[in-house]
Amino acid sequence: MPKSSKAVQHVSPLMRELSEYIAAAARRAPPAAAVERAKMHLVDTVAAMISGSRLLPGTAAIAHVNTLGGHAQAGVIGTGIVTSVLNAALANGMFGHADETDDTHPPSLTHPGTSVVPSALAIGERDRASGRQFLRAMILGYDICARVLLSVKPMPFLRSGHHAGAFGQAFGAAAAAAAMLRLDARQVRYMLSYMGQQAAGMYTMFRDPEHIEKAYAMGGMPAHNGLAAALMVANGFTGVEDIFSGERDFFFTFAPQGERRELTRGLGTRFEVMRASIKRWPVGGPIQGPLQVLSDLIAEHGICADDVVELVARMPDKELEIVNNREMPDISVQHLLSLMLVDGGVTFASAHSFERMTDRKVLAMRARVRTVGDPKLTDVQRRWRCVMEIRLKDGRVLRHQTMAARGSFENPLQRHEEEAKALDLIEPVLGKRRARRLLDALWTIDRLDDLRALRRLYAA
């Protein structure tokens, strides 16, 4: 392995604090609450990957990695394929965001699990690392993913044409891999520089009606590129030690009005996995609030599409921009509200059906749905909010709202709720017995000495 350069470079106090924190992550025990929350997000992410392996983006990823060859180092979840760590991270990342069932970090507009977990898991399998080390790397990955986006101010960044998730998740995946590889602080600084060179992601991904490019940009690409940056440095690459300060730095390039201190604010005391959210409904994050409110109204009043004259859903204005009349069924708020009223609920199958977007009953209901972007409902934490009013044919007017829908970090799912969601996604692929065994292993992953043992449980 080439020896690291001894040339002296200026390193700002901020970069020194950040790099030393990342380098020490594998030795640092997070609080019990962060560990428990990380397990919830791990179960949710693995379930999304297994389900996603059977969807169109998943089959495309499998076909691609099957042509690449590579050393047998890590498994492709939901299959019998064992390939290189980079190939596995790419495929598993695409599986995780093959649809909209994966987790989110609303304040940063990212989906950390679908990139952080594949990156850390690939190295963990290759090196037969412990589940405890993996959880520490995962928690770190969520921290760095979120902080990079918070430092560039995620919503202005998104509105400028960049895509926040593709951007921040790559840094999160790189940090998680660095912890698994036990890079020292100087190597971490090099790793961040190589990650900065690869930082990418364009808002145009939302135009993809089949979710393949979106799965790549929001899952596979960040997982692959973040892991690649860490591996290059582990194999001797050197470079610039501080991309966050100096001439034409990271912020000059991507966010001149950014806030550097967000990179380290609260490190070690504020764990971003605690501000991440898990979707109750298998649809885009901004739609969680509207579906929660409508579901409550249906349960309380027994209403259906035939009873409704008009439905008005007020939601955060910047959230509505993301899900307003989209061509993909699982990220179109108007379609999904109509679907819930016609069917009485929303399932994984119905939310992903393009055929239902042309259903006469759904379209008739959709003509009576009105959405309003309300800046008063928008906040920096991006809580899943909605205020709804429904006028009925019998003259009644129903009103209901939520300021933090179920699954948001202020109103988190409980273990039994997450388990029910996960089993619904895993059982069709692995069967009931193996799904149960896999979940048991994930809930107790901090007692697992060798991550490779998971391979026999998730392989199909």
pLDDT of residue 7: 75
Longest dimension (CA), the chain: 79
The pLDDT assigned to 382 comes to 74
Give me 167's structure tokens: 């951007």
Mean pLDDT of 259-277: 96
Check residue 206 and give its pLDDT. Answer: 83
pLDDT in tens, 22-64: 999 999 999 999 999 999 999 999 999 999 999 999 999 999 9
Give me the pLDDT at residue 356, please.
97
What average pLDDT does the segment 321-329 reach?
A: 91
Arithmetic mean of pLDDT, 76-104: 96
Phi and psi based region of residue 246 (left: phi greater than 0; alpha: psi -120 to 50; beta: remaining): left
Residue among 274, 276, 261 at smallest CA distance from 18: 261
Residue-wise pLDDT for 246-258, tens only, equals 999 999 999 999 9
d(CA 88, CA 126): 11
285-402 matches 13-275 in CATH topology: no
Q: What is the pLDDT of residue 189?
A: 98
Does residue 328 have a pLDDT over 90?
Answer: no
Higher pLDDT, 171 or 4: 171
User: What is the C-alpha to C-alpha distance for residues 179 and 134, in angstroms, rounded to an integer?
Assistant: 9
**Residue 158 pLDDT class (50, 70, 90 cuts):** confident
pLDDT tens digit string along 400-432? 999 999 999 999 999 999 999 999 899 999 999
For residue 6, pLDDT over 70 is answered with no
Segment 71-85 mean pLDDT: 97
The CATH architecture one would assign to domain 13-275 is Orthogonal Bundle (1.10)
Q: What are phi and psi for residue 293, nearest 5 degrees?
A: -65, -45
Confidence of residue 3 (pLDDT cuts 50, 70, 90): low
At 5 the pLDDT is 54
pLDDT in tens, 143-155: 999 999 999 998 8
Confidence bin at 209 (pLDDT 50/70/90):
confident
Across residues 314-327, what is the average pLDDT?
A: 93
Q: What is the pLDDT of residue 155?
A: 85
Q: How confident is the model at residue 1 (pLDDT cuts 50, 70, 90)?
A: very low
pLDDT confidence bin for 378, thresholds 50/70/90: confident
Mean pLDDT of the chain: 95
Q: How, if at all, do strands 386-392 and 308-316 pair?
A: antiparallel
CATH number of 285-402: 3.30.1330.120
| Domain residue ranges of the chain, discontinuous segments joined by + | 13-275, 285-402
